[in-house]
Amino acid sequence: MGYRSRGNKPLTLSGVYRIFDMPIYYGPFEYPRRSDNWYQGSHEPIITKELYEKAQEHLKRDKIVRENREFAFTKLFTCGMCQSGITAQEKYKELKDGTTAKYVYYSCSKAKDRNCPNKYIREEELIEELFKVIDRVDINELGMRMKLEEEIKRFNRLQRLATKDTPKYSINEDDVNTREYAKYVLREGTPLEKRELMGHLRSRLVLNNKKITLLSE
């Protein structure tokens, strides 16, 4: 649209978002920033409060959070098409009933090929794919068995600490099915636990149009 900054540079996208987010254009301002001390400006507003709120609604509708959050599976995968790393982003989508759903997408970072055509994958789909990997990988060969036994002991220890009484979800170390446990961590674990678990497969996981393959050595 040809708008320029005070320094006569084209506005950046993040700059535009910042402007939309500032209530000072209809009156109030916060000082110092993030202090939650709000003042009513004595200047003449250039927009109405209603317009400001309307803009907020639009921004929320399809907001992509670009901050670098902790995602469970970044850095574990390589792009099968250009060998770049795989990155993640969160996307919020307004549903018809007015609630907002959060999706996490993983996609090629395109560091090595700007035009890499590899498809993005939703976290749920990625976990389904990892289940298949867990089903077919030789866990003993990968040294995951020992790691998982440690994890199970740790889990039971934490359960005992947390509950004092008989743990509700104690896992029997002898009976445990390693693959099922791995899936359990993928489903219920924290991002760190998931990363630790899959970390054993690092550099072997390749993402290719929503399919995960193991890089053969």
Residue numbers at the binding site for Zn ion (CB under 5 A):
79, 81-82, 84, 108, 116, 118
Q: Which is nearer to Zn ion, 104 or 116 (CB)?
A: 116
To Zn ion, the closest distance from the beta carbon of 86 in angstroms equals 8
CA–CA dist 131, 129 (Å, integer): 5
To Zn ion, the closest distance from the beta carbon of 65 in angstroms equals 22
To Zn ion, the closest distance from the beta carbon of 156 in angstroms equals 41
To Zn ion, the closest distance from the beta carbon of 120 in angstroms equals 11
Q: Which is nearer to Zn ion, 110 or 122 (CB)?
A: 110
Beta 38-40 vs 28-30: how paired, if at all?
Answer: antiparallel
To Zn ion, the closest distance from the beta carbon of 79 in angstroms equals 3
Q: Cα–chain-centroid distance for residue 147? A: 25
Q: Which is nearer to Zn ion, 60 or 112 (CB)?
A: 112
Q: Which is nearer to Zn ion, 78 or 201 (CB)?
A: 78
Residue with tokens 């982003």: 89
Specify the DSSP element, H or E, that contains 122: strand 121-122
CA–CA dist 74, 94 (Å, integer): 25
Q: Max Cα separation, the chain?
A: 73
CB 27 within 8 A of CB 41: yes
Neighbours of 52 (CB within 10 A): 19
Handedness of CA 12, 14, 15, 21 (dihedral sign): positive
Q: Which is nearer to Zn ion, 82 or 171 (CB)?
A: 82
